[in-house]
């Protein structure tokens, strides 16, 4: 999340917020594993892509008959 902040002498206000990106926790690991670069411009996030992406699977049966056509 990102939030608009206003800080003055003796006052601190949080304005509107917005989601920067969505992440999912790693399976079996509590919480999120992430870090921020020293300049605060990038996030490095450990993601479990094995369980978040689905690759289509094509099964070709009787393929030798297709070669004879």
- The domains of the chain are located at 24-54
Contact (CB, 8 A) for 6 and 13:
yes
48 pLDDT tier (thresholds 50, 70, 90): low
Task: Retrieve residue 19's tokens.
Answer: 């989601």
Residue 50: closest CA among 24, 68, 30, 69: 24
pTM over 0.75: no
What is the per-residue pLDDT for 26?
67
Can you read off the two tokens belonging to residue 3?
Answer: 């939030």
Residue 60 has pLDDT above 70, yes or no: yes
Residue 50: which pLDDT band, with cuts at 50, 70 and 90?
Answer: low
User: Is residue 18 scored above 90 in pLDDT?
Assistant: yes
Q: What are phi and psi of 55, to 5 degrees?
A: -105, 130
Q: Check pLDDT > 80 for residue 23.
A: no
């Amino acid at each position: 999340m990102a939030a608009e902040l206003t800080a003055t002498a003796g006052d601190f206000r949080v304005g509107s917020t917005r989601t920067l990106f969505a992440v999912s926790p790693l399976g079996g690991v509590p919480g999120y594993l992430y870090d921020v670069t020293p300049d605060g411009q990038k996030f490095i996030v450990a993601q479990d892509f094995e369980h978040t992406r689905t690759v289509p699977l094509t099964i070709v049966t009787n393929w030798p008959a297709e070669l004879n056509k």
